[in-house]
Amino acid sequence: MNHLTSDTPSASSDASLGRRNFLKASGAAALLQMAAKSAEAQPKEGSTPPAMGKKSLVVDCQSHLFLPEVLDMMRKRNSDPVVYEKDGVTILKMGDWLRKVPAFYLDVNAKLAAMDACGIDITMLSTNDPGPEWFGTEGPAAARLFNDSVASIVAQHPTRFRGLCVLPLQDEAAADRELDRCVKQLGMKGILLYTNLAGAWPDEPQFRWMFARAEELGLPVLLHPALPMTTEQVKGYELTSTLGNMFENTISLARIVASGLLDVHPRLKLVCPHLGGTLPYICGRMDHQIKVLKRSNQNLQRKPSEYLRSIYMDIVSPLPEAMEFAIKFSGPDRLLFSSDHPWVEPSLILEDLRSLNLPAETESKILGTNAQQLFNL
C-alpha cells in the first residue's frame, strides 16, 4: 500500500488539505509583510553582509529548494524517482514514499522573505533529495543539472546565498570531475552528502576517496537524510520524517565514527544535521561497546564521544532542551544555526535558541560566527 507523505503532516481529508493550503498562503503573506517591515535592516542585492561588530552575522547552514528544472527532468522519467501531478498536486515518488511538492517549496522569493523576516543574512543553499545516486548512469548529468540550478540562484542573489554541491558518487571519475567543477567554476562552499547513497552507506570503501578530497580542499561535508533505509519500519502513522530521517542521521554518523574515517582524515570538516540525530544521547553506550567491550573491528584512537565533540552539528531540532544539551555536549564552537526551510520556519528555531538566554558571544557563534569560519564566508 502506498502512503502519501510529506515533510509536514499530510491532511486527512480534502477539507483539511484546503485549510492547510490556506494557512500556508496566509503564512507566506505574513512573511512578506514582515520582510517589508525589516527590509531596511537587511542586506540589499550587491551589498555586503553587516560587519560583525555592528550586527551578528546570521547564517542558515541547512536550507533547501526543489528546483523546477529538476522536477521537469523527473517528470520525463519512466522509473523512480519520478514526478507527476495528481488532483492539481505535484507528487515526488520514490518507491512507496510519496511526497507532496507545493509551489512554496520552489519559491526563491518566499525563501528570501523568510530570511528577511528573521534577520538571516546568508543561506547555504542546497537541493533536496533525491540525489544523483538515484539516477544510475544518468547520475552525472543529474548532478550537473542540480548544481547548475543552485549556482544560478546564487548568481542571481550573490549576497544572500552560497551553494552546496551534490555528487554522482556511483561514478567516481565523474564525481571527482564534478567536484572540481563545482569548487573551481561554480564557487560551491561545501558538499551535501546523503546519509545513504541509493542503499549504500557513505563510509563504504567505494566512497572514501571523497572524504580525502574534501579534506584536501578544506571543504565541509554536510550529511543530509535521504530516503530512509528504515522506511518500511517507520512509515506507519507517517513517521518517516519524524523517525526515519533521524535514524538515518544516527546510523550514518555512527558508521563514519566507527569506521575510523575520522582518524584517517583528522582535518575533515564534517557537519551532521538535527543535533546528530540521536547519537549524542546514546554515545555513552557506544563508548562502552567499542572502548571497553572491544566490540569493533577498528582500533579507534579516541572514544566515539570524543569524535562527536569534534564534528559540527546544526540545531534543527525545535526543542530548547535539546539545544541546551547540545551546547553542554559539544560546546558553542561546534554548533551551527540552520532552519531546514521550507519544512521548518526559521523563526521556530531562532525562538527556541533565544529562549535559552545564552551569553551574547555564545549566541553569536551559533548564529553565524562558526559558519563564517567553517565555510570561509
Q: Nearest to residue 94, comparing CAs of 106, 105, 83?
A: 83
pLDDT band at 54 (very low <50, low <70, confident <90, very high): low
| pLDDT digits 0-9 by tens, 241-254 | 889 889 999 999 99
Q: Give pTM, 2 decimals.
A: 0.84
Running DSSP on this structure, what letter comes out for residue 13?
S
Write down the pLDDT at residue 242: 87
- What's the rounded Cα separation, in Å, for the pair 93 and 90? 10
pLDDT exceeds 90 at position 30 = no
Contact in structure between 144 and 178 (CB atoms under 8 Å)? yes
Residue 242 or 187, more confident: 187
Supply the angle between the helices 346-354 and 320-330 in degrees, to the nearest 10. Answer: 70
Write down the pLDDT at residue 53: 45
Cα→Cα distances 339→63, 191, 347, 365, 375, Å: 6, 18, 8, 16, 17
Start-end of H helices in the chain: 14-37, 68-75, 108-118, 139-156, 172-184, 208-217, 231-234, 245-259, 261-264, 279-287, 304-310, 320-330, 346-354, 360-364, 370-374
Contact in structure between 325 and 313 (CB atoms under 8 Å)? no
- What's the rounded Cα separation, in Å, for the pair 208 and 101? 33
**What's the rounded mean pLDDT across residues 296-302?**
88
Angle, CA 218 vertex, CA 261 and CA 161 arms, to 5°: 120
CB count within 10 Å of CB 40 equals 7
pLDDT exceeds 80 at position 232 = yes
Backbone angles phi, psi at 303, to 5 degrees: -70, 145
Start-end of H helices in 78-120: 108-118
Write down the pLDDT at residue 57: 94
Contact in structure between 291 and 307 (CB atoms under 8 Å)? no
